Amino acid sequence: MLNRIISGLHAAINANICENYVKNGKNKPNEPFFWGAVGNFPDRIENIYYFYSILLRYIIRLLFILPIKELSQSPTKNSRNSPTTLVTSRTI
């Protein structure tokens, strides 16, 4: 299981690098690198899916454990120079 998670993370990073490849100052996808590193390997695509499903599952669990924090301005006379405060609220 840990091997699939690490492989999925590695493949996701490779896919992101392939998508945002910069060559000669231009940002464009590098398809040959993608197919060589990720695209021709169905197990790596499955591991990307597995990694993101595990990540999403734990993010949803954390939403119920940790308080949700929103940014709001503190109500003062000089609101332009007032510091931003964190207000906790439950919206779920």
Q: What is the pTM of this model?
A: 0.62
* Alpha-carbon dihedral 72, 74, 79, 81, rounded to 10 degrees: -90
Strand segments (E) across the chain:
22-23, 26-27, 68-73, 84-89
* CA angle at 76 for the pair 71 and 80, rounded to the nearest 5°: 70
Counting residues of the chain whose pLDDT is more than 90, the rounded percentage is 32
* pLDDT for position 80: 52
Question: Is residue 54 helix, strand or coil?
Answer: helix
pLDDT tens profile 25-65: 888 888 888 899 898 999 999 999 999 999 999 988 888 88
Question: Looking at the predicted structure, is the pLDDT value of residue 81 above 60?
Answer: no
